[in-house]
Chain A
């Protein structure tokens, strides 16, 4: 499936990060948090502007602006 920004995924979707399109400062921070290319991300909640994702066992809240910068390839749902 094609890649899209993290902010467009619906709750419960899992996918792999394919790129982080942010300035270098921000990107380094995301890397330190475990949001690196190839990492598996699950969207926990996305009811409001910001979303909560789960990456390698940690939960993070990302504001929408932040979530736009993380590009992800959603896994095709099992059913």
Chain B
């Protein structure tokens, strides 16, 4: 039988762990040039030289002490899941800080391999690293790798297999000086009395962590039989002093190792520093950010146009074929009204979605994302959130689900909860089709401005809600934060395209899956009970719609929109596909536009109200699920639905009446 080796990939944030993971296992996990991209452990397999290797990619962490939810995951996996080999991916262009974690991993008593990643960057700068010497000094294998090109990864796999075969635990640790060592050996002796602890963990590591006041380790000791003795010993000393001492000694050890193994070039002002000087400038920072956002927005709409026209053309043709060639009326309606009317209506927006994701991925890959958070820090401070919270907001433009997951890097629980709760107001890609449809139909040349306004409204509502939560249910101050600013990189076309395809194809799958099903259900509701006129008020859809009409009529909307909104809860694109089905737009989206324009029940003001309502009304099913998962309770998920509905209704109501007044009514 083949052997299976379990390997954990750990390391500081943004050093290329996921890049290495993807290349080794052939996965397509999300890579981005900012710290905190990966927030969950991901497992993949690879076969190399008759061995099966199970690799787990972990969130980045600066040390083995966890501060945020993602770091807890990384730490727990290494400590509790006992991987056979721990590979620390290290940024070779930034050794000093990276080796701090190495020093801590060394104490764990596990086989550790150092993957010197990004050596291309270090070499390009003129640094030289003697990995043999470094390996001797650290007493662990060191392999040079370049995650992006795959250079050195075979060597890495060979080393993993060799190390696992030897099964040698790492024993070489640094000394902390006489005084601290005396304390450590005292603690080790005490801890050794508890067989449960002695069996499960390296005692030296436990002792060191206890001195450093690691709360998880202290809790572990608390439960053991030697709790009293440990407490008594720790009480005799000034822990603060020791903690600083330990950190100091680690850096001292690093400082002793580095000059023997590498030469670093003198750093000049880099390109990154130059860009930072400008884009974080007091006066220019925010204007440049806004200008870039507007540019991104412009691209999303303008460039998609010919592609959309092409797709529309194809669906229009399909509709004609179906109408002309299928004799069976029932089947023709199912295919024409249900499938083409519904799915086709959503399909046209695929180009917009792809371009949106392409732009977001360039934004992420360049490193500007972290700067945007920095620029917005002042504003975020005013509403009582750390600047970091801005990153999930920007991610939300793509999809709220990963955006909400990315809040795991926020250390403070309340900050995090608020950031999660306001995220659904950030307009995700799925809502775009609704805007493009309605704004395009009713506002013609001004469509772009209307849509830009909706995005802005989403942000404003998110920010005001955050402030409201801060003042009421989740009081507190924004906690001080520190965030790494990655160096700028020129994103590769290949990476950006892959990223775009990965996310965009999810949208395609959704169109072929859940949206198709939704469309068929709406078609069924619109066609039955048997004998009614298709999509008339006597059909099931009509009945449901009329039940809800009193709720939406103050917003200037009729029963068809009400039905579409109900189904839009599953996924917001379904609002468009449902309307396509209900209006029987079997010639694609152009037909739907005409039908909407012809409907006397809809006005410009009504169209605005629909868009505002769709923007705000409630998180979709997937988002709701992730809110539940990340907050740990249905309570907050339920809260976000209710709050969203109330806000959406009030604002849509206000929009409708204001717009009716200014635009001259229906």
Instruction: Give the interface of A toward B (CB within 8 A).
Output: 24-34, 36-39, 44-45, 47-50, 52, 54-66, 69
Distance in Å from the Cβ of A73 to the closest Cβ of chain B? 17
Q: Which residue of A lies closest to B371 (CB)?
A: A61
A-B residue pairs in contact (CB < 8 Å), sample of 20: A24-B243, A28-B247, A29-B63, A29-B65, A32-B62, A32-B63, A32-B65, A33-B62, A37-B248, A45-B276, A47-B280, A47-B285, A50-B374, A56-B94, A57-B96, A58-B94, A59-B487, A61-B387, A61-B483, A63-B480
Distance in Å from the Cβ of A41 to the closest Cβ of chain B? 13
Contact B386 A33 (CB under 8 A): no
Other-chain contact of B484, A27, A56, A60 (Cβ < 8 Å): A60
- B524 sits at the interface (CB 8 A): no
Contact B277 A45 (CB under 8 A): yes
Q: What is the 8 Å Cβ interface bit string for chain B, positions 161-180, against chain A (1 contact, 0 not)?
A: 00000000000000000000
Question: Known: A48-B378, A52-B276. Contact between A34 and B97, CB under 8 A?
Answer: yes
Q: Which residue of A lies closest to B95 (CB)?
A: A57
Q: What is the 8 Å Cβ interface bit string for chain B, positions 462-483, against chain A (1 contact, 0 not)?
A: 0000000000000000111111
8 smallest CB-CB distances across A and B, nearest first, come from: A65-B480, A47-B282, A32-B63, A66-B480, A31-B247, A59-B485, A32-B62, A34-B97
Contact B97 A29 (CB under 8 A): no
Contact A48 B377 (CB under 8 A): yes
Alpha-carbon gap, A63 to B480, bound state (A): 6
Alpha-carbon gap, A64 to B380, bound state (A): 13
Instruction: Give the interface of B toward A (CB within 8 A).
Output: 62-63, 65, 67, 93-94, 96-97, 100-101, 212-213, 239-240, 243-244, 247-248, 251, 267, 272-273, 276-277, 280-282, 285, 370, 373-375, 377-378, 381, 386-387, 478-487
Alpha-carbon gap, A20 to B139, bound state (A): 32
Contact A62 B482 (CB under 8 A): yes
Taking CB atoms, residues of chain B closer than 8 Å to A62 are 480-482
Taking CB atoms, residues of chain A closer than 8 Å to B381 are 49, 63-64
Contact A33 B248 (CB under 8 A): no
Contact A36 B482 (CB under 8 A): no
Contact B481 A29 (CB under 8 A): no
Other-chain contact of A24, B62, B240, B386, B479 (Cβ < 8 Å): B240
Taking CB atoms, residues of chain A closer than 8 Å to B243 are 24, 27-28, 31
Q: Main SS of the interface on chain A?
A: mixed
Taking CB atoms, residues of chain A closer than 8 Å to B67 are 25, 29
Distance in Å from the Cβ of B422 to the closest Cβ of chain A? 19
Alpha-carbon gap, A34 to B98, bound state (A): 9
Taking CB atoms, residues of chain A closer than 8 Å to B62 are 29, 32-33
Q: Which residue of B lies closest to A62 (CB)?
A: B482
Q: Which residue of B lies closest to A11 (CB)?
A: B277
Taking CB atoms, residues of chain A closer than 8 Å to B282 are 47-48
Alpha-carbon gap, A30 to B244, bound state (A): 11
Other-chain contact of B482, A44, A47, A48, A60 (Cβ < 8 Å): A60
Taking CB atoms, residues of chain B closer than 8 Å to A29 are 62-63, 65, 67, 482
Alpha-carbon gap, A9 to B94, bound state (A): 25
Quick one: which of B93, B248, B251 has the most chain A CB within 10 A? B251
In the complex, given contacts A58-B94, A63-B381, what are 14 additional A-B residue pairs having Cβ atoms less than 8 angstroms apart? A25-B67, A28-B213, A29-B65, A33-B484, A34-B97, A34-B251, A45-B280, A45-B281, A48-B378, A50-B374, A50-B387, A61-B370, A64-B381, A66-B481
Q: Which residue of A lies closest to B251 (CB)?
A: A36
Contact B377 A61 (CB under 8 A): yes
Alpha-carbon gap, A48 to B482, bound state (A): 15
Q: Which residue of B lies closest to A45 (CB)?
A: B280
Taking CB atoms, residues of chain B closer than 8 Å to A31 are 63, 243-244, 247
Distance in Å from the Cβ of B233 to the closest Cβ of chain A? 18
Other-chain contact of A59, B281, B387, B484 (Cβ < 8 Å): B484
Taking CB atoms, residues of chain A closer than 8 Å to B280 are 45, 47-48, 52
Alpha-carbon gap, A72 to B259, bound state (A): 26
Q: Which residue of A lies closest to B375 (CB)?
A: A48
Contact B480 A28 (CB under 8 A): no
Alpha-carbon gap, A54 to B280, bound state (A): 15
Contact A60 B483 (CB under 8 A): yes
Contact B272 A59 (CB under 8 A): yes
Taking CB atoms, residues of chain B closer than 8 Å to A54 are 273
Distance in Å from the Cβ of A42 to the closest Cβ of chain B? 10
Quick one: which of A31, A37, A44, A64 has the most chain B CB within 10 A? A31
Distance in Å from the Cβ of A10 to the closest Cβ of chain B? 13
Quick one: which of A38, A47, A54 has the most chain B CB within 10 A? A47
Q: Which residue of A lies closest to B272 (CB)?
A: A59
Alpha-carbon gap, A31 to B214, bound state (A): 14
Alpha-carbon gap, A69 to B247, bound state (A): 18
Contact A66 B378 (CB under 8 A): no
Contact A37 B244 (CB under 8 A): yes
Taking CB atoms, residues of chain B closer than 8 Å to A38 are 248
Contact B100 A32 (CB under 8 A): yes
Contact A56 B481 (CB under 8 A): no
Taking CB atoms, residues of chain B closer than 8 Å to A28 are 63, 65, 212-213, 243, 247
Contact B97 A56 (CB under 8 A): yes
Q: Which residue of B lies closest to A65 (CB)?
A: B480
Taking CB atoms, residues of chain B closer than 8 Å to A52 are 276, 280, 374, 485
Distance in Å from the Cβ of B284 to the closest Cβ of chain A? 9
Q: Which residue of B lies closest to A22 (CB)?
A: B480
Distance in Å from the Cβ of A1 to the closest Cβ of chain B? 23
Taking CB atoms, residues of chain B closer than 8 Å to A49 are 377-378, 381
Other-chain contact of A56, B96, B377, B479 (Cβ < 8 Å): B96
Distance in Å from the Cβ of B396 to the closest Cβ of chain A? 21
Question: Known: A45-B276, A48-B285. Contact between A36 and B267, CB under 8 A?
Answer: no
Contact A61 B480 (CB under 8 A): no
Distance in Å from the Cβ of A60 to the closest Cβ of chain B? 6
Contact A44 B276 (CB under 8 A): yes
Alpha-carbon gap, A27 to B244, bound state (A): 9
Q: Which residue of B lies closest to A55 (CB)?
A: B97
Contact B481 A63 (CB under 8 A): yes
Taking CB atoms, residues of chain B closer than 8 Å to A44 are 273, 276-277
Distance in Å from the Cβ of A32 to the closest Cβ of chain B? 4
Distance in Å from the Cβ of B349 to the closest Cβ of chain A? 36
Contact A47 B281 (CB under 8 A): yes
Contact B272 A30 (CB under 8 A): no
Question: Known: A28-B65, A28-B243, A32-B62. Contact between A63 and B482, CB under 8 A?
Answer: yes
